[in-house]
């Protein structure tokens, strides 16, 4: 068989040049191009996502009975929110009085109320199957990539990119979002990440290391504060099931408190220092 | 026309599998099906059409699953460029050679991905990129050969094999 003559590579070099140009584009422009391309594909993607919005509405209504849905667009939800706010004020006052009685020092202001900024959700876009939300705060307001986002005190997600006057956040169910977390009763610490779908419901996976991790279904999962993005003790979700994955590794499925993209306003946590890791006392 | 249709079907099927099925598999099976498909086309099909396939596949992955636009495309095409000259040798070696092309191409593509991703700030640490590189290479070793056999068969059915590959198949 004669040796095959070398073929011209003009096409490959052209493609390489195009790819290099795309890489060199500013990140914000890249995201814009990407979202425009995905918008063009939206009819096809919607066909794959079991009826698109109808599916999302159905999943939101499924989540509503246990009070974990963030939807607040009807009268009952607003009443419930007002009642909870009043309850919060009452409990804070009661807590303050009890601390005063116990002689404990009042919590520093930054712990009681972390520094941050309220932001309105100005855009909702689904990239692939993952919803991303646009916020009306950006670098000018101190909102930067990696900042934690809360909704009614519960973890909603993280800021994934930030421009001068706007930012983009991913929900806690996004596979790329991780939060350092802790079981509220078992006090086991680990890392929680999104990206798990079980029976059409979007859940998170809490990975913990320990010889015996007792995670009771229904137990609350809260932030540990070790990642410096969220203050410790913020509610993330509740345990659905627990499974041992190795000698010391455990995978715990968590139903997030905030799972849907239908948020109107959120709170972006800023300038938080990581919680101090307890260090064993030195032997004397 | 037939070729374009064949490519469209292949990219769509592999992209759907990559995005829907692969993330649920064990780590050692989480290969990059689009890259492997492109490299196998490069090994068994026409090089120009394989580069078009890899460009389309890279853009597809950039749109859905890449931390920065163009990163996957550049990695895929870098692998194609590196393996371009070896095309005939791989065809001569048949599926085993195509399998080796898969492993080598994955290594090159994800090396470029990791280094460029780290340099452009798309990846927070270089270790993150190298961990992905390791997963993909191990997965390409595991699934490369079955995929090579499958794609060789499907390319033959769709008429996408190069003249050289057809000669090799006829000589079997």
Q: Give the total number of structural domains in chain A.
A: 2
Residue in chain B lying closest to A174 (CA)? B65
Residue in chain B lying closest to A34 (CA)? B63
Cα of A23 to nearest chain B Cα, Å: 5
CB contact under 8 A, A7 and B47: yes
CB contact under 8 A, A128 and B19: yes
Residue B116: list chain A partners with CB under 8 A. 23
| pLDDT level of residue A8 (50, 70, 90 thresholds) | low
CA separation for the pair A141, B44 (Å, rounded)? 55
- Map out the domains of chain B as residue ranges: 2-165
Q: Enumerate residues 6+ apart whose C-beta is below 8 A from B141.
A: B103
B58 touches chain A (CB under 8 A): yes
Residue A54 has which token pair? 């109808």
Interface test with B, best of A15, A128, A194 (most B CBs within 10 A): A15
Q: Enumerate residues 6+ apart whose C-beta is below 8 A from B28.
A: B135, B138, B139, B142
Both A42 and A119 in one domain: the answer is no
CB contact under 8 A, A23 and B74: yes
B169 touches chain A (CB under 8 A): no
CB contact under 8 A, A19 and B63: no
Residue A116 has which token pair? 């941050």
Residue A153 belongs to some domain of the structure: yes
Residue linked to tokens 């609350």:
A220
What is the extent of the structural domain holding A38? 12-47
CA separation for the pair A13, A21 (Å, rounded)? 12
Under 8 Å between Cβ of A239 and A253: yes
A75-95 pLDDT, tens per residue? 566 677 777 877 787 787 778
B125-143 pLDDT, tens per residue? 888 888 888 988 999 898 8
Instruction: Give the percent of chain A with pLDDT over 70.
Output: 75
> Taking 70 as the threshold, does the pLDDT of residue A239 lie above it?
yes
Residue A146: list chain B partners with CB under 8 A. none
Q: What is the pLDDT of residue A280?
A: 56
> Taking 80 as the threshold, does the pLDDT of residue B73 lie above it?
yes
Residue A75 belongs to some domain of the structure: no
> Taking 70 as the threshold, does the pLDDT of residue A277 lie above it?
no
CB contact under 8 A, B81 and A6: no
**Is the ipTM beyond the 0.90 threshold?**
no
* DSSP H or E segment with residue A246: none
B90-108 pLDDT, tens per residue? 555 567 777 888 888 899 9
A190-200 pLDDT, tens per residue? 899 887 878 77
CB contact under 8 A, B47 and A175: no
CB contact under 8 A, A15 and B19: no
* DSSP H or E segment with residue B22: none
Q: What is the domain-level CATH number for residue A179?
A: 2.40.10.340
CA separation for the pair A280, A258 (Å, rounded)? 36
Cα of A75 to nearest chain B Cα, Å: 38
Instruction: Give the percent of chain B with pLDDT over 70.
Output: 85
CB contact under 8 A, B74 and A20: yes
Residue A195: list chain B partners with CB under 8 A. 23
CB contact under 8 A, B65 and A128: yes
Give backbone dihedrals phi and psi of A195, rounded to 5 degrees, phi first.
95, 10
A29-66 pLDDT, tens per residue? 777 777 777 777 767 666 655 444 433 333 333 333 33
* DSSP H or E segment with residue A184: none
CB contact under 8 A, A34 and B62: yes
Residue A65 belongs to some domain of the structure: no
In this complex, the residue of B51, B88, B167 whose CB is nearest that of residue A11 is B51
CA separation for the pair B169, A190 (Å, rounded)? 54
The interface residues of chain B toward chain A in range 26-45, judged by CB-CB distance below 8 A, are none
Closest by alpha carbon to B19, among A47, A48, A120, A124? A48
Query: Helix or strand or coil: residue A28?
Result: helix
Q: What is the DSSP letter of B29?
A: G
pLDDT greater at residue A170 or residue B27: A170
Residue B75 has which token pair? 């990695």
Residue A225 belongs to some domain of the structure: yes
| pLDDT level of residue B12 (50, 70, 90 thresholds) | confident
A174-190 pLDDT, tens per residue? 888 889 998 888 778 88
């Amino acid at each position: 068989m004669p040796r095959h003559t070398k073929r011209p590579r003009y096409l490959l070099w052209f493609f390489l040049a195009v790819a290099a140009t795309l890489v060199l584009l500013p990140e914000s422009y890249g995201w814009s191009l990407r979202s425009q391309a995905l918008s063009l594909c939206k009819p096809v993607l919607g066909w794959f996502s079991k009826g698109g919005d109808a599916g999302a509405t159905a999943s939101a209504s499924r989540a509503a009975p246990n009070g974990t849905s963030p939807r607040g667009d009807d009268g009952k939800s607003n009443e419930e929110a007002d009642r909870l706010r009043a309850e919060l004020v009452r409990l804070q006052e009661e807590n303050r009085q009890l601390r005063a009685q116990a002689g404990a020092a009042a919590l520093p202001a930054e712990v009681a109320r972390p520094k941050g900024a309220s932001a309105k959700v100005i855009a909702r876009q689904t990239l692939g199957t993952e919803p991303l939300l646009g916020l009306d705060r950006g670098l000018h307001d101190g909102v930067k990539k990696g900042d934690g986002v809360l909704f009614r005190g519960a973890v909603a997600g993280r800021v994934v990119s930030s421009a001068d006057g706007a930012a983009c956040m991913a929900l806690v169910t996004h596979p790329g979002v991780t939060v350092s977390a802790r079981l509220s009763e078992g006090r086991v610490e680990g890392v929680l990440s999104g990206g798990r779908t079980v029976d059409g419901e979007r859940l998170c996976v809490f990975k913990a290391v320990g010889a015996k991790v007792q995670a009771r279904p229904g137990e609350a999962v809260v932030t540990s504060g070790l990642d410096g993005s969220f203050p410790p003790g913020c509610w993330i979700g509740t345990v659905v099931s627990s499974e041992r994955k190795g000698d010391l590794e455990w995978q715990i499925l968590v139903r997030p408190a905030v799972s849907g993209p239908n948020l109107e306003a959120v709170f972006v946590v800023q300038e938080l220092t990581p919680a101090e890791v307890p260090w064993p006392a030195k032997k004397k | 026309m037939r070729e374009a249709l064949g490519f469209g079907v292949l990219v769509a099927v592999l992209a759907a599998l990559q995005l829907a099925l692969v993330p649920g598999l064990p780590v050692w099976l989480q290969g990059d099906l689009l890259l492997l498909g492109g490299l196998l086309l490069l090994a068994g099909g026409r090089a120009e059409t394989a580069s078009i396939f890899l460009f389309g596949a890279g853009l597809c992955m950039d749109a859905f699953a890449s931390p920065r636009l163009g990163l996957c495309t550049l990695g895929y095409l870098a692998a194609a460029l590196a393996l371009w000259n070896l095309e005939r040798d791989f065809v001569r070696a048949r599926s085993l050679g195509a399998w080796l092309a898969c492993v080598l191409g994955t290594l090159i593509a994800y090396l470029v991905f990791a280094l460029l991703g780290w340099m452009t700030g798309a990846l927070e640490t270089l270790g993150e990129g190298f961990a992905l590189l390791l997963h993909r290479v191990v997965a390409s070793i595991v699934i490369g050969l079955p995929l090579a056999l499958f794609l060789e068969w499907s390319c033959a059915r769709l008429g996408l094999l190069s003249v050289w590959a057809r000669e090799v198949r006829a000589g079997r």
